[in-house]
Structure 1
């Protein structure tokens, strides 16, 4: 009997051992498959994407919105490790999902401190990678050619080699708002819906606290003036821009009428980006716009832009609404603004560049003109808040007949006229030169030669005296 029990126990033990082995083996196979799937997600950061929209739709994961790819984020950096660390920390803290947004850090040059910061983020986060551009040698005090070369190289790489369809362009000196990614996910829909819109920007050039409606985080506008500073573009647009991309001053090139082709960008009432003045230094502009930039803060609101219909910025409905707002706005008395009532909108007109400068001084706006356009202008109309009221600065033809809004044409001579007004303010009104203020006159040219400033005069470029 004991022998039978021993045989039975041995048989059961053997069977139990086999069952345990089978369970362990199955678990190990499941584990390997899971790891293999995760490894693919982690390593295939820049897999080429299909050119067929039908194939892309079919290949999209259907599990949840968090796994639907939205756009790549291209971060430009060069020599500022602390700025890059700050910017990436904010981006990755706000990024909803590593599936939705791949981050590509593009470093100009190979400064070790910067690449070490970038590599740390590459190691610690998924779907983030570093690419490095061989820095272009530049003349002292002019790094615009290097910036332009870096931009073209990196955008060519992400669109042509990595085959992304939409890219959000940022820079290392930017802070971002809480709803940055919600805004751009909505913006992608806008880009794909209206062919008259060629970019979506997170930046408001006139976004200082006193010039905006701080209660309207959901408010968005069309602008003809390319804002940049955190902006989205499509591969289709880059295929158009890349062959003629300029050797320097690429952002001003984007504002030329022959490049813009009557297309507009979307910009928010409240900026979703801001310059980190402590980490940015003077930047490529040499601190020229510091007084304006320092007043613009990234939004602290958290707007769900998926609830905002794209029709609010589609050209047909947007233009109709803007025309009605200009028609219904009250004329503004610039000499007496104390009686403004915040239940009304107001409007005032300008006829020429001198008028524009007076208005810009009154409302503390940036005065520079590019492609005949003031910053944030849409068919010449600039909107802002003043004394808690919405104000429209309107070109005189549109002021007289708002229905002709879309007939307004920018005058490219305004760039040269504006340059003269700035030249006049610097040399003539400050009494550096006391004769007739005309940079083309023999007397003024002789004065600059005597001072050894002839190159300074030449650097101002072509000017039109007004």
Structure 2
């Protein structure tokens, strides 16, 4: 309707204008001359209208042709951008070990991309010899220095734990630098006494999307607490597990988790704090059958706790596994839980004596059942499995089950069928 009214107004305007021109021309002129002039003007006007009509018809035809061929738009539009890979920095927590060189050398040797895996070394302690080693790498690494080197105020009975307070303060500062100052979305944290496996970067790259999309996960770890030689299957370097125990020792977290943890970060013993129910919230981590890190640092704040008995015997994976090309959907919570429980509780129940004396018959797996904290600790200790519990969760455990190899056969140290939850008083 609006368009029709516009045409009527335009026509009226032309009519009035034409007659006004005629009046001006007829005023005080010879009638014969006037008639000739009017006829010439009418011809010119008609010709101009014809040209304008042709132009409008061409525009209309081109518009219709374009609308009938929508593929033209797709041909002209640029192709969609390729997905941008997440940058996963490696945060090396350093203090006063000049042997940080061993850690950095392996990271640089196996790093597939400088852009995707920037190496950030955060140094506490102010130890200048260690600082010199870090700075010798030049632009290959970013060297950050924790500015607050003073003692942390603690209760008198906690003075002997001053080192643990400083470590927790350092972690808080370093993670804030990574997520707040540098703006990264994820990070892999290693200590200065860890050596990494050849597929260390491949492992974390493959699992980052799952960590991002699965709210039942809160970390990915390169570490198996029971990963000593003889306790893992060397023929299954690609085997991965879910675990309810926070392993640490080379682990990946996302910025969203730091948003959650930063406001309540503890003043000391941050790793055990992570293992408490209020932090874990029934979430799991991914961990490997064969560790992708080993520790070579016997001396430290923990005074070599567990090192001589367990840690120095951890097996480091040497075979590159192309995790990014493997279907890892079996690790999704519901699928994994159902399949894992089926395998564990369909395995034949065996006695502790048969396991200890190597009398198991058949290829396995086998199930060894514990019924209390004390029975778990006794069997684990005597079988060479780490026996300590944190808030009721055994190291490397999933739904109370600890998987390990004994004399070449798979054994599941498991609670009775029908397990529902951990008892935080087990410690």
TM-score scaled to structure 1, two decimals? 0.70
Instruction: Please show how residues 283-432 of structure 1 align to structure 2 within 5 Å.
Output: 283-290=300-307, 291-337=309-355, 338-396=358-416, 398=417, 404-405=418-419, 408-415=420-427
> Aligned equivalents of 2:144 and 2:245: distance in 1?
30
Q: Aligned pair in 2 of structure 1 residues 345, 369: CA closer, same or farther (>3 Å)?
A: same
Conserved in 2, the CA contact under 8 Å of 1:211 and 1:386?
yes
> Aligned equivalents of 2:173 and 2:122: distance in 1?
9
Task: Tell me how far 1:328 sits from its aligned partner.
Answer: 2.1
Structure 1 residue ranges without an equivalent (≥5):
1-56, 62-67, 399-403, 416-466
1:115 aligned residue:
131
Q: Give the 3-state SS of the residue equivalent to 1:143 in structure 2.
A: helix
Conserved in 2, the CA contact under 8 Å of 1:198 and 1:237?
yes
Are residues 1:181 and 2:201 paired? yes
Q: Name which of structure 1's ranges 353-362 and 179-188 shifts more when overlaid on structure 2.
A: 353-362
- Residues 395-418 of structure 1 show CA distances to partners (whole Å, capped at 9, x for unaligned) of 12x2xxxxx45xx21111112xxx
2:51 aligned residue:
none
Q: Runs in 1 of length 4+ with deviation above 6 angstroms?
A: none
1:205 aligned residue:
225
Q: Give the 3-state SS of the residue equivalent to 1:211 in structure 2.
A: coil
Task: Tell me how far 1:69 sits from its aligned partner.
Answer: 4.4
Task: Tell me how far 1:372 sits from its aligned partner.
Answer: 1.0
Task: Tell me how far 1:239 sits from its aligned partner.
Answer: 0.4
Computing the radius of gyration from Cα coordinates, the structure with the larger value is 2
Task: Tell me how far 1:314 sits from its aligned partner.
Answer: 0.6
Task: Tell me how far 1:333 sits from its aligned partner.
Answer: 2.4
Conserved in 2, the CA contact under 8 Å of 1:104 and 1:130?
yes
> Aligned equivalents of 1:116 and 1:377: distance in 2?
41
- Residues 66-93 of structure 1 show CA distances to partners (whole Å, capped at 9, x for unaligned) of xx44301100001011x21110000000
Task: Tell me how far 1:59 sits from its aligned partner.
Answer: 8.2
- Residues 182-225 of structure 1 show CA distances to partners (whole Å, capped at 9, x for unaligned) of 10101202202311010000000111111111111000011111
Number of aligned residue pairs: 338
Conserved in 1, the CA contact under 8 Å of 2:364 and 2:411?
no
Conserved in 2, the CA contact under 8 Å of 1:189 and 1:310?
no
TM-score scaled to structure 2, two decimals? 0.76
Q: Name which of structure 1's ranges 184-193 and 252-261 shifts more when overlaid on structure 2.
A: 184-193
Task: Tell me how far 1:341 sits from its aligned partner.
Answer: 3.7
Structure 2 residue ranges without an equivalent (≥5):
1-79, 153-158
Q: What is the Cα-based RMSD across aligned positions, in Å? A: 1.7
Q: Give the 3-state SS of the residue equivalent to 2:241 in structure 1.
A: strand
